[in-house]
Chain A
């Protein structure tokens, strides 16, 4: 390779990389700030925007606006180990993320999380849909094995993860899980 070509390649590569860096900078910045606000607001979330609203599926309401918590309690079986264990399906609150609202519902059977169903996933554009579709099954698996909303972030799907887990936590709180 001639020196001229090497120099041109180095120069062109450097400029391509810096353009990439510059384009990526706002995304990096907003990611950082979103994470910070998400984390700082989560403490007061329950009281304000993300008020939990556990809705029994039997109530027929699919919205998250209902303020009361009415967990559906199954007919207590005689051999149920503990009558106080929660059973039912609870909707989490809709959480606004940068890419659209996120909402999940959780099914609890005798105190065990048996299913997490996404009601709304970030879907502002095709890319968000793609990310959601990738992250949701991973998060579901993790939640089922951890039996809580304290699971790790899915790489490359940070917003989805945050929204998903926040909505889930709201649902779990509603279920008094």
Chain B
């Protein structure tokens, strides 16, 4: 077969030639464009300040503090709006970076944005009080009583501090998810509450000026994106798809596969490896939504997810009745075959991370003998969906390995202690690793270790794909 010949030739090349698909090139161009836009938007707010003659307002200490404070507020607010766009589920952002990378960037911008906004408040209070030759406390009082919309602005600032602090605490897992989620919704209120003072107190964004038009367009654009892509589109899609629970299959203790049926599901354009945010309309569950990956390739009439009960809420999922209505947001994620850049494929999973790996294996493009599936577990018997994976591997000609054992104490590794001692690595496990795309899904720490191993083996970023399911 001609196909076989070509792949054999590929194996014999001395230097691996990664297959850069047009898909990949387009994605990178989109990613570049978005990143450039993001940075230029920061430059643009500084330019707005300069265009207003801001460069002249640094003569006195009071003016200088005020001007730096204004700049901090402009850049900080711009970052806040970028954060909101990153969380707005914009299709372009998901296509370019994937949902989890976008959210990682969202997270990393949180603190800088807050510091800039706090600096804005402090610098303006000090700058104004110097100019007015009054104490900072008198200045705060005057701001609240004399200047328009400042009460709202201070409320917004307080909410912003609350949101960022709760996010930092939640990252350390001291708050339940639902509390964090509700607090997080307050960030919309914070951003809106801070808008009036920007327009009325700041001379820069005075009504009718070009700056004013740009600023309002920015706010309208962000608000519109959130409204359309986070609320309207999911509702419309869910109504059209008419998803219902078809059946619940027990996989292991606390792990179930949920089969769903619906109409014209091709219109969702979901791909193996992606996830949806699911809402099950039962009396106990309707008020919360959780992200779960597809564990089987989507068809025109059916979807399947495999879920492990992590919290009190997902425990109730095992008791879902047939016919329960389901609404979804999504599909999201770049953990798909579309992100491929190389002919070979390595799928690595631990725990419930097996779900997207299972669906990827079903539909990913590879020739027999060119894919390896690695399952990591504590003991041989406790991998989820292992039987299904073994069947699929046999049918598609993929190599299947289960690596079981306990972690080495005190060492960071994705492998068990004995494997580590025997110097096993991704490179020794998978022949022709440099010719492969590696897909990793599992707990965050473990995933990071696999990614580190893949990098150590010389794989470039474009060949490493991971999905971290912490939410």
A127-B209 contact in complex given A5-B36, A8-B32, A155-B62, C-beta closer than 8 Å:
yes
Beta-carbon contact of B142 and A28 below 8 Å: no
Among A4, A24, A138, the one with the most B-chain Cβ atoms within 10 Å of its Cβ is: A24
Taken together as a complex, chains A and B put the C-alpha atoms of A14 and B50 apart, in Å, by: 13
Taken together as a complex, chains A and B put the C-alpha atoms of A142 and B139 apart, in Å, by: 11
Taken together as a complex, chains A and B put the C-alpha atoms of A36 and B78 apart, in Å, by: 36
The total of interchain contacts (Cβ-Cβ below 8 angstroms) comes to 125
Within 8 Å by CB of A24, from B51, B200, B208, lies B51
**B40-65 with Cβ < 8 A to chain A:** 40, 42-44, 46-57, 60, 62-63
Taken together as a complex, chains A and B put the C-alpha atoms of A131 and B201 apart, in Å, by: 8
Instruction: Quote the shortest CB–CB distance from B213 to chain A (angstroms).
Output: 12
User: A141 — which chain B residues lie within 8 A by C-beta?
Assistant: 132, 142, 146
**A142-163 with Cβ < 8 A to chain B:** 142, 145, 151-157
User: A13 — which chain B residues lie within 8 A by C-beta?
Assistant: 39-40, 42-43
**A116-152 with Cβ < 8 A to chain B:** 125-128, 130-131, 133-134, 137-138, 141-142, 145, 151-152
Beta-carbon contact of B208 and A127 below 8 Å: yes
**B140-199 with Cβ < 8 A to chain A:** 142, 146-148
Instruction: Quote the shortest CB–CB distance from B202 to chain A (angstroms).
Output: 7
Beta-carbon contact of A28 and B147 below 8 Å: no
**B1-44 with Cβ < 8 A to chain A:** 28, 31-32, 35-36, 39-40, 42-44
The yes or no answer to A47 lying at the interface (CB within 8 A) is: no
Beta-carbon contact of A126 and B208 below 8 Å: yes
User: A31 — which chain B residues lie within 8 A by C-beta?
Assistant: 53, 56
Question: 1/0 per position for B361-401, CB-CB distance to A under 8 A?
Answer: 00000000000000000000000000000000000000000
Residue in B closest to A1 when the chains form the complex, CB atoms: B35
Among A1, A9, A142, A155, the one with the most B-chain Cβ atoms within 10 Å of its Cβ is: A155
User: A43 — which chain B residues lie within 8 A by C-beta?
Assistant: none
Question: 1/0 per position for A12-34, CB-CB distance to B under 8 A?
Answer: 11101101110111011001100
Residue in B closest to A140 when the chains form the complex, CB atoms: B146
The yes or no answer to B207 lying at the interface (CB within 8 A) is: yes
Among B28, B55, B134, the one with the most A-chain Cβ atoms within 10 Å of its Cβ is: B55
The yes or no answer to B117 lying at the interface (CB within 8 A) is: no
Taken together as a complex, chains A and B put the C-alpha atoms of A19 and B31 apart, in Å, by: 26
The yes or no answer to B66 lying at the interface (CB within 8 A) is: yes
Taken together as a complex, chains A and B put the C-alpha atoms of A9 and B146 apart, in Å, by: 41
Interface of B is mostly: helix
Beta-carbon contact of A12 and B36 below 8 Å: yes
Residue in B closest to A153 when the chains form the complex, CB atoms: B131
Taken together as a complex, chains A and B put the C-alpha atoms of A140 and B87 apart, in Å, by: 45
Residue in A closest to B65 when the chains form the complex, CB atoms: A155
Beta-carbon contact of B32 and A125 below 8 Å: no
Among B54, B202, B206, B207, the one with the most A-chain Cβ atoms within 10 Å of its Cβ is: B206
User: A127 — which chain B residues lie within 8 A by C-beta?
Assistant: 203, 206-209
User: A133 — which chain B residues lie within 8 A by C-beta?
Assistant: 148, 200
Beta-carbon contact of A130 and B206 below 8 Å: yes
Among A14, A130, A152, A153, the one with the most B-chain Cβ atoms within 10 Å of its Cβ is: A130
Beta-carbon contact of A2 and B200 below 8 Å: no
Beta-carbon contact of A23 and B42 below 8 Å: no
Within 8 Å by CB of B40, from A12, A24, A138, A145, lies A12
A155-B206 contact in complex given A5-B31, A13-B42, A31-B53, C-beta closer than 8 Å:
no
Beta-carbon contact of B201 and A134 below 8 Å: yes
Within 8 Å by CB of B207, from A8, A126, A134, A142, lies A126
Residue in A closest to B57 when the chains form the complex, CB atoms: A155
Beta-carbon contact of B207 and A130 below 8 Å: yes
User: B46 — which chain A residues lie within 8 A by C-beta?
Assistant: 17, 20
The yes or no answer to B442 lying at the interface (CB within 8 A) is: no
The yes or no answer to B127 lying at the interface (CB within 8 A) is: yes
Taken together as a complex, chains A and B put the C-alpha atoms of A152 and B65 apart, in Å, by: 15
Among B44, B56, B70, B201, the one with the most A-chain Cβ atoms within 10 Å of its Cβ is: B56
Within 8 Å by CB of A28, from B35, B55, B127, lies B55
Residue in B closest to A161 when the chains form the complex, CB atoms: B131
Beta-carbon contact of A131 and B203 below 8 Å: yes
Residue in A closest to B209 when the chains form the complex, CB atoms: A127
**A82-139 with Cβ < 8 A to chain B:** 125-128, 130-131, 133-134, 137-138
Residues of chain B at the chain A interface (Cβ within 8 Å): 28, 31-32, 35-36, 39-40, 42-44, 46-57, 60, 62-63, 66-67, 70, 127-128, 130-134, 142, 146-148, 200-204, 206-209
A-B contact pairs, 11 of them (CB 8 A): A1-B35, A2-B28, A5-B32, A9-B39, A16-B44, A17-B46, A24-B54, A31-B56, A130-B200, A152-B131, A156-B203
Contacts A127-B209, A152-B62 given; 13 further ones with Cβ under 8 A?
A5-B31, A13-B43, A17-B47, A20-B49, A24-B51, A126-B206, A127-B207, A130-B203, A131-B206, A141-B146, A151-B132, A151-B133, A156-B66
